[in-house]
Structure 1
Amino acid sequence: MLTVLEAELYSLIIEPTIKDQIIAAQKKDKGMAHIRDGINEKKKACFKLNEEGVLWFKNCLVVPKDMELRKKILDEAHTSMFTIHPDSNKMYQDLKQKFWWTRMKREIAKYVFECDMCQRVKADHLKHAEFEYNNSYQKSLEMAPFEALYGRRCGTPVNWSEPGEWVTFGPDLVTQAEEQSRQKSYSDKRRRPLVFQKGDHVYLQVSPMKGVHWFGVKGKLAPRYIGPFKVTEQCGSVAYRLELPPHLAAVHDVFYVSQLKKCLRVPEEVIEPDLTYEEQPIKNPRPKAKINTTKNYKFLQGAME
């Protein structure tokens, strides 16, 4: 039995779920009125209202135009403790089974593209790792997953053709080269050079070899980009000068454009890891003599801040 001194106080705060917040936001959103009118006039066949008056798109809950609520849904699907920063395609496939709003796929792609962690850490060559796994031998299947799915081995530089299979290289290679040249001409018309303006914030790519020596970044899972840093000057057409912090004073501050990536988020105030400071006396110390049996000592006495 607890005494008065041993009593403990507990408090339980119940917050509404995301579904309850969406239902409450639907009732306040004035933009849902025309959808409800279309349902009554049988012009919105994909939309429906349940018995509680909640608006659904097929089997998905309609999210109103509430940017704070949408961001909360995206944070839960991308940065929560139950997710591992999925890419935009996987994140869209997961969310479209439960929620719907206009331009949903575009907003998800923009959210993932602006994620600070994904820009600095995620690798660009995950497709090659996936290709290697799908074409490697699996003991349980006694063949590669690609061969089990398609019934043949995938053509690679090591395994270009099956033994005994006649392959005509000439016409196929010519056709492939012509298609690549045609696709390159289409791509060059739409390609724009990477240009930064003075005052923009960019990420700096850290190479595996120079990262340890110059930037102190090491380890297999270390961030691939550091920053963001502010662009102070454009040096020529393909180089930029960055405003580096004091601990990178030994690093040359001009970098090639291929080492930079634009930071789309708004930089926040950075808190320095070392918050210590040197204490100073608030008043002039006065010497104080202390006489010992053998020697005479002098002390400085003063109050510190």
Structure 2
Amino acid sequence: MVGQQDKLEYNTLGVRTRFGRVWIPIGGELRTKILDEAHKSRYSIYPGTNKMYQDLRKEYWWPGMKHEVTKYVSKCLTCSQVKAEHQKPYGKIQQLDIPEWKWEHITMDFITKLPRTAKGHDTIWVIVDRLTKSAHFLPIRETFSSERLAEVFINEVVARHGMPLTIVSDRDTQFTSRFWKRFHEAMGTRLNISTAYHPQTDGQSERTIQTLEDMLRACIIDFGGSWDSHLPLAEFSYNNSYHTTIGMPPYEMLYGRRCRTPVCWGEIGQKELGSLEVIRETSEMFDQVKARMKAAQDRQKSYADKRRRPIEFDVGDRVMLKVSP
């Protein structure tokens, strides 16, 4: 017997729905257009199978949807060209504590040696919030001084989110300079230095950088132009896409709702909430996300450490360092 919730219904706009989502018929090209928009447009920029499915399932439904999304992504020629090769990692995962509030504990790193653009940019400064997973991708020059980086940091991060309590970064010369240390002391921020190319400690920045590089490669292949012209929409796409660890897009965690795109046209208007209800829902969301992050950390460590090999070096040992292109 078919349950009441399984029956096709119509929403206020006269659109056929099922499970509260828009039902897409099998005939015509509508499904293909939705898949193209969710994968190839400048607002999405080639997400993986899980992200793409999670983004679509909130708005649309059709039989075998997940299988069709998986098949669609597997046949994408651009994805096969830009996705980086993975190698078996070394060392056990060393996880950081879960933050208590958004943009109080962040990580940052640089993507250097990029082709110089017409605006003179050759480096991307990647800054990620450890709680909401939201990120800023800032185009800069490798020759920027510590003073100039501090100015960019205040204008782009502090002005939007306030001064963080801790910053995790590797041993880049910009962060080990005396000016940068004095800057953090004056602002009351603790700078935690990790070992360079050591994803066991700062895997979040490394993974975000890998995703960003894949997105920019895809943009250059499909849309052309210089990489810094695609950076703003790459940041939007990253923050507005489903994140497995927190179970929602970073924008939804940061602002309370996901930003609208051509794919997510179902919601009309803005939801009105009373102040007390906003506080209650925000508190519940943070508790839920923290629980998800703790479960994700435990799950990642349990299956990742089983497949990792211990790594030990003595002073004077010669090692070969392989970095993803």
Structure 1 length normalisation: TM-score?
0.31
Identify, as 1 or 2, the structure richer in helix.
Answer: 2
Which structure would you say has the larger RCO, counting Cα contacts within 8 Å and 6 or more residues apart?
2
Bigger radius of gyration among the two: 1
